[in-house]
Structure 1
Amino acid sequence: MFLKAPLLLGLIALGPHVSSPNFVDISKSTTSFAMCVEFAVFQFNQDHLDEYAYKLLWVGRSQRKRWTMIFLMDLEMGRTTCKKYDEDIENCPLQEGSGKKKMDCTFVVDARPWFSQFTLLNSTCVQK
């Protein structure tokens, strides 16, 4: 009996975490997801100390948390020849040679697209 009590208490404590909503795969072409990707790249450029802008190269994981508008994405971005406040960064060429840099990032974005409101909940980036 005494061995069952800690097990039962452990299951009760873990219950809410085990049954919490998980992220599920979604289409990369979903309008809300595409808006979140654009926001994440913009926010990365605003927060990053580099004077040059980065642009989206590739979208890896595309997920949404069940019953919410919280999106999880893995993005690969490349350093461009344009400054971060230049117009039309998407058409800027990537830097070559010693200036060439790529970043792999994971972003979690809470979206309220009907209000054009986006919040970056978490971001983790590593240079390739």
Structure 2
Amino acid sequence: MEMKARGLRIPLLLLLVTVVVMAKLTTGVEYLVTVKIGRTKCKKNETKKASCPLQSSKLKKSLVCKSLIYSVPWMNYFQLWNNSCQES
């Protein structure tokens, strides 16, 4: 949101690799998903492009993100419990 406030265009991120997916059955299903994403040359509002190449040089950036998702699929219920990203 901070980038938008400054009038900058927000970059589109691309999934580079799914690192780990773990599931745990509780009263529903808890998924712990770890992915690596990278910044592309496309902007968020340019999603109709067939391909978006990754940024190069000083704008190149990748993140490792961990998300905890809770789901009760038989009730069509999904909720993001936690999400955090760190530069890799």
TM-score (normalizing by structure 2): 0.74
Does residue 10 of structure 2 align to residue 51 of structure 1?
yes
Three-state SS of the structure 2 residue aligned to 1:98 is helix
2:41 equivalent in structure 1:
81
Give the partner amino acid of 1:70. Answer: E
Q: Which runs of 5+ in 1 are unaligned?
A: 1-46
Higher relative contact order (CA 8 A, sep 6+): 2
Match of 2:31 among 62, 71, 82: 71
Q: Which has the larger share of strand?
A: 2
Q: Which has the larger share of helix?
A: 1
Whole-Å Cα distance in 2 between the matches of residues 113 and 95 of structure 1? 37
Q: Percent same amino acid at aligned positions?
A: 28
Does residue 62 of structure 2 align to residue 102 of structure 1?
yes
Aligned residues of 1:55 and 1:90 also touching (Cα < 8 A): no
- In the alignment of these two chains, the number of paired residues is 81
2:85 equivalent in structure 1:
125
2:6 equivalent in structure 1:
none
Whole-Å Cα distance in 2 between the matches of residues 82 and 61 of structure 1? 26
For the aligned residue pairs, the C-alpha RMSD in angstroms reads 2.5
Deviation at 1:120, TM superposition (A): 1.2
Three-state SS of the structure 2 residue aligned to 1:91 is coil
Whole-Å Cα distance in 2 between the matches of residues 110 and 98 of structure 1? 37
Three-state SS of the structure 2 residue aligned to 1:104 is strand
Residues 86-122 of structure 1: CA distance to partner in whole angstroms, max 9, x if unpaired? 224782110000110000111111235563x532110
Deviation at 1:85, TM superposition (A): 2.6
Structure number, greater radius of gyration: 1
